[in-house]
């Protein structure tokens, strides 16, 4: 069939070849599958576990950070090995038993810990700061550059039950990468919860950034690999 455009040029209609009729159901299935995938991706990516400030899951053992990190001033890295590896580890039963093999050995609250030790099975701790699988985050890279634990996790030493304090969203991370001065501190003060800079933070942060040549990348491949 031929027709004409307003300018008078002929236009020939285009018909798909007959064999394309056979793949129409497949295209529909793939389209529906893609929609489901994107929906799941967005639903998980914006779930309370990754973006909701205040996310506070119940743990299998009532562990008080206010006591351990606050009153007892136990360094974060003793329980969460985060300085040398990309991932901050969840405390192992062995780590807990280093103290509780001698302290509070009869406490009913610690019964699940003793059971874990006896059965040689891990405690099913629930991660609070749990990024989606499509996000890559390296703990050691941030710690080695002077980003304190408080910047991402808040005043853990004051939390009886840990809750998520920041959104941990892409925009939130990019704000820090573009302006890291607000979060940089001396290496030996990384885990100090009540850290207060001796001079204006932005001035100190700018000095640390220049001295250590800190230029956080903002391209997509930094976090999405």
How far apart CA 53 and CA 51 sit, in angstroms, is: 6
pLDDT, averaged across the chain? 87
Chain segment 63-120, per-residue pLDDT in tens: 999 999 999 999 999 999 866 678 888 999 999 999 999 999 999 999 999 999 999 9
For the chain, the structural domain boundaries read: 48-90+125-222
Which pTM value belongs to this model? Answer: 0.74
């Amino acid at each position: 069939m031929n027709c004409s455009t307003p300018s008078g040029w002929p236009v020939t209609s285009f018909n798909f070849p007959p064999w394309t009729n056979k793949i129409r159901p497949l295209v529909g299935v793939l389209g529906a599958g893609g929609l489901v995938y994107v929906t799941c991706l967005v639903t998980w990516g914006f779930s309370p576990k990754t973006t909701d400030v205040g996310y506070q899951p119940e743990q299998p053992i009532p562990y008080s950070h206010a006591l351990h990190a606050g009153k007892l001033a136990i360094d974060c890295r003793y329980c969460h090995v985060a300085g040398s590896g990309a991932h901050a580890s969840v405390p192992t039963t062995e780590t807990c038993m280093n103290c509780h093999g001698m302290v509070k050995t009869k406490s009913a609250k610690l019964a699940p810990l003793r059971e874990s030790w006896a059965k040689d099975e891990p405690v099913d701790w629930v991660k609070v700061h749990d990024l989606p699988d499509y996000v890559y985050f390296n703990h050691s890279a941030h710690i080695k550059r002077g980003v304190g634990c408080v910047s991402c996790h808040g005043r853990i030493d004051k939390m009886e039950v840990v809750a998520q304090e920041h959104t941990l969203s892409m925009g939130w991370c990019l704000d820090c990468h573009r302006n890291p001065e607000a979060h940089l501190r001396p290496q030996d003060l990384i885990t100090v919860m009540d850290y207060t800079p001796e001079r204006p933070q932005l001035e100190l942060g700018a000095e640390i950034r220049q001295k250590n040549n800190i230029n956080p990348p903002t391209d997509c491949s930094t976090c999405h690999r």
